[in-house]
Amino acid sequence: MLARGAGEEPGSMSVEVVFFIPILVMFTLLVVAGGRYVAVKGDIEAAARDAARAASFARSADEARAAASTVATAALGSGGSCRVSGIGGDFSAGGIVEVDMRCEVSNRGLGLIGLGGTQTVTASGAAPIDTYRRYG
């Protein structure tokens, strides 16, 4: 039989692994959650900019709302729960159109670190209206 060294304890490796693996898994899920948030936020900001640009081509506030909603839906797809929450600004030549968007994003698969459910992500975009454009 082999003699054990003075500082060795049987089973110490498994205890270290039992404590280390859950921490590693939670850290990995936290990184995934952060990456998911950044990706979704970027997509929603891009859709808000696209919607504002489409609204800036419209001839009236009602047309601007319809154009912004259509472009936002096309940019993000129909599967999400995103909507244009507000359109404002000056609809005259040289004005700026502002579009606000609000999306509910699922945190499915991240319940282990306390991030289950949904999260609200907002974004806004603005676009200038052509100074020399005529209305009506």
Helix/strand/coil percentages in the chain, nearest 5: 45, 25, 30
- The pLDDT, as a whole number, for residue 8 is 63
Q: Tell me what percent of the residues of the chain surpass a pLDDT of 70.
A: 84
Flag whether 133 is in a domain.
no
User: Could you read off the pLDDT of 47-87 as tens digits, one per residue?
Assistant: 999 999 999 998 888 888 999 999 998 888 765 688 888 88
Q: Does residue 39 lie within any of the structural domains?
A: yes
Q: Could you tell me the pTM of the whole model?
A: 0.75
Examine residue 1 and state whether it is found in any structural domain, yes or no: no
**Pairing relationship of beta strands 81-89 and 118-128 according to DSSP bridges:** unpaired
Q: How far apart are CA 125 and CA 84, in angstroms?
A: 11
Residues 6+ apart with CB under 8 A from 136: 59
Note down the domain range covering 78. 13-128
Domain count, the chain: 1
In angstroms and rounded to an integer, the radius of gyration of the C-alpha atoms of the chain is 25
* 6-28 mean pLDDT: 77
More confident residue, 122 or 109: 122
